Amino acid sequence: MMSYQFTPLHHYLEVFMRRFLLASLWVSPLLFCATASATTEQQAQPSSLTSITPANTFINDSILPPIKPWSGASETLLMATDQPWATPFEQQGYLSTPNYDDTMAWLDKLVDSSDLLHKVSLGKSPQGRDIWMIVASSEGAETATALSNNDKATVLVQAGIHSGEVDGKDAGMMLLRDISHGNKRALLENVNFLFIPILSVDAHERSSEYNRVNQRGPINMGWRTTANNLNLNRDYAKADALEMQHLIRTINIWQPDLYIDVHVTDGIDYQYDVTFGYNVKQGYSPSSFTWLETIYRPAIEAALTEQGHIPGPLVFAIDNADMAKGVSLWNPSPRFSNGYGDARHLPTILIENHSLKPYKQRVLGTYVMLEQTLKTVAQNSTKLKSAIYEDKYRNPSKVTLSWQSEMLPQGRDFKGIDYRIETSPISGANVVRWTGEPKLYANIPVKANTKPDVIVSRPVAYYIPPQWTKVIKRLSLHGIRMTKLTKPTSIAAQQYRFSDPTFSSADYEGHQTVTANTSRHKITTLLPTGTIRVATDQPLGDLAILLLEPQAEDSLFYWGFFNTIFTRTEYIEDYAVEPLAAKMLAENPALQSEFEQALTDPIFANDSKARLRWFYQRSPYYDNQYLVYPVLRAAK
């Protein structure tokens, strides 16, 4: 493998020539005009060569904040364009990324040339494209069984869940190339590597230079959502999308020990080019958190720093226009990759490369992080597997379903970019103008949704009536173990009843979400044959709780899987309820007293419909399943 570094003069000359050739050969006319215009202006300046910067290569550069040129040791990872195993990203001047067909054609060639690699399809997308995964192991394993037999830890890296954010795809292609045909074969001696270059394959092909206006490259970027307009990184818990269903099955079959989801940010400007995070210590996988925080993060940040990058934790500003207000520490719910990993005890890392950094810099930073990940997992796999085991079988007696925000006692230093606030002549509002100059914000506040809110006791099991087939199938997809009752069974259980349901006013990810006030009641009931029992003393017991407890942030109840329980289907006419109410009062003096007490509420007393409904709800004719959660909690 050949690698090279430029002197500053050669670097700028190469950038100049690359821009000209790309514009004239295959970049859109609009980009050509913008580039040619910029070049003309630069030639008019006294020092035209030194005024050209690598940033001025994308069509949206003129509307993005200024940046300083970047150069780092990781540039030695790049292969010269005339080498046979140069990736399309390298061949096209680090500005572009290949389409689906070209990506898979290059990877097919690589797989065919290597005894370490195999390619498997996870399934078809809605538009009929295969979602491919590359299996890399020193033994050349082709199946999940063969991979597990080598007793090594397995790292799963996924790129392109948002297909405009494909840094991981090009970085992973380079890394696989260097493992197969470079000097990095030893990376696989003590670890397995699974690589999904593009998860959202249909969205990847909805490509344009006008996607993701806030991002510096690649030139053509895919779309954020799937062909069905679903955001895959809101879909882990409900698992509606076909792509997500394929991914979850893959996790269940291949059983990775570490899962990496590669993204690119939106939002503010700052110095970090590679930020990453995972679950918090207050979450559902505290042992995994400890491994990630004390072993993984220090190794990754050291490697990135050594290679000329600036790593940091995930960045979410409390107020994009006022950094003094601080940043948020995110405790994600299971709709997100890292929240889902926390719930199912799969250590999961969310990478968010900084969108305002040039594509080349972001890809190289991702490469360094993936390579060091393989090294770190290989060296610490026993501790990683032990942490996962501890989390899977912790089975806490109390489980937090939702969280409140709190200010943490310790702030953090933040490597930001200076800015000024101006009044926009366009909108009339104040806007942020990033200057491109580094600025350290010392000990800014940190806010986190880490204060427990709703907490429930852990039931021994849940019971789901057999008619709720969609719910049962979704739990099965996640890999949650279930058994079926083979005969009618009487149990003592707890049942939720709802009041004051609130439905979302607009569709969200294809669902009408719902929240409601809940009350829990003890019942004894006879369960029919075919009822599904979900025990909570299993590796995915916490995930089952978070999907079946209605107050959980991403429960199937919240996502509307049970919305038909809010539909009234039987009624009683006023002419029938009047004599019924009189009969009920005559036969039940206690009811008479209860009714008189209810009448002390003037709103109730003046609402004739509410008064009739009061009697109907207490009659034997009332629907006893209306506003009642069909899933039961059992203590035994």
List, by residue number, the catalytic residues.
406
CA–CA gap between residue 292 and residue 345 (Å, rounded):
13
Look up residue 114 and give its two tokens. Answer: 């290597």
Phi-psi region of 81 (alpha: psi -120 to 50; beta: other; left: phi over 0): alpha
> 188-225 as b/e, with b when 16 or more CB fall inside 10 Å?
bebbbbbbbbbbbbbbbbbbebebbeebbbbbbbbbbb
Rounded CA gap, 1 and 108, in Å? 19
In angstroms, the CA 373 to CA 302 distance is 12
Rounded to 5°, angle at Cα 24 from 19 and 27: 75
Handedness of CA 369, 374, 376, 381 (dihedral sign): positive
Rounded to a whole number of angstroms, the CA Rg of the chain reads 29
Residues 617 and 289: their CA atoms lie apart, in Å, by 49
Longest CA span, the chain:
102
As a whole number of angstroms, the distance between CA 172 and CA 175 comes to 5
Report the SS3 class of residue 98.
Answer: coil
CB atoms within 10 A of CB 322: 12
Reading phi first (left if > 0) and then psi (alpha if -120 to 50, else beta), residue 140 is in: left
User: DSSP 3-state assignment of 294?
Assistant: helix
Phi, psi of 562 (to 5 degrees): -115, 20
User: CB neighbours (10 Å) of residue 48?
Assistant: 14
Bridge partners of residue 489, in order along the sequence: 527
Dihedral (C-alpha) 510, 468, 543, 123: value to the nearest 10 degrees? Answer: -60
